[in-house]
Copies of this chain bind each other. A is one copy, B any other.
Amino acid sequence: MNIAVLGTGSVGSTIGTKLIELGHNVMMGSRTSNNEKALTWLGNHTKNASAGTFAEAASFGHVILNCTAGTATMEVLQLAGESNIAGKVLLDIANPLDFSKGFPPSLSIVNTHSLAEEIQNTYPTVRVVKALNTMWAGLMVNPSMINGGDHNTFICGNDAEAKSIAIQFLKSFGWKDENILDLGDISKARGLEMYLPLWLSIYGATNNGAFNIKIVS
């Protein structure tokens, strides 16, 4: 499948590489077609990888992965262009972390709203699924790295088919069906994004980012 990865950071490059390993064609999108990080990433792949502007990538992808910094996402989607994302499945992996006042960051959208809802409200035809934003990039595509893969990942969104496509991606990354929890509609992204301060605190207290949570009952 042709997939657009918007964003050239560690999430974009990690997921982009995994998608190529799985046989997909990936175009990494950034502000300029000669973005240095995108070209570095491109240099690590001999086929099925390309790089372009946000608009070029969004036009190329049947599915869009939002791997941008959450505070930049709305501008990025404007650059990508409504016509290039209309009707498509968009996996929103971003967190609206605002580092403008240093560490720890606050959330730029919070409490009664979320980044994923902002995307959904602004682009009603886009089929937004929040996914994978609750962990370090390395674990997103390699859950078996810890605890035999037995820990949880969450999705939410308004479109059942889009969620089922998201689940297929997660399973191809190694996530077990029983560890993927569908929380409901896109408003549930509030809780997923508001988990980040706790994630950062646990990371700070344990000095280890390669952790995740497992629901036990």
Contacts and interface: CB of A to CB of B under 8 A. Distances in A.
A111 interface: yes
Nearest to A150: B216
Nearest to A156: B201
Given A110-B111, A181-B206, A194-B194, A211 B216 contact: yes
Contacts of A202: 181, 183, 215
B204 A183 contact: yes
A72 interface: no
Select the residue from A107, A112, A202, A204 with max chain B CB neighbours within 10 A: A202
Interface stretch (A27-35, A59-67, A184-192): A184-192
Interface of A: 104, 106-107, 110-112, 146-147, 150-151, 154, 156, 181-184, 187-188, 190-192, 194-202, 204-206, 208, 210-217
B206 A217 contact: yes
Contacts of A151: 216
Contacts of A208: 217
Given A104-B187, A106-B111, A191-B197, 17 more contacts: A146-B216, A146-B217, A147-B217, A151-B216, A154-B201, A181-B205, A183-B204, A184-B205, A190-B197, A192-B198, A192-B201, A206-B217, A208-B217, A211-B217, A212-B216, A213-B213, A214-B214
26 contacts: A107-B111, A110-B110, A150-B216, A154-B201, A181-B202, A181-B205, A182-B205, A183-B201, A183-B202, A183-B204, A184-B201, A184-B204, A184-B205, A191-B196, A191-B201, A192-B201, A194-B194, A195-B198, A208-B217, A210-B217, A211-B215, A211-B216, A212-B215, A213-B215, A214-B215, A214-B216
Contacts of A205: 181-184
A47 to B, nearest CB: 35
A101 to B, nearest CB: 8
Nearest to A183: B201
Contacts of A107: 111
B204 A198 contact: no
Contacts of A215: 202, 206, 211-214
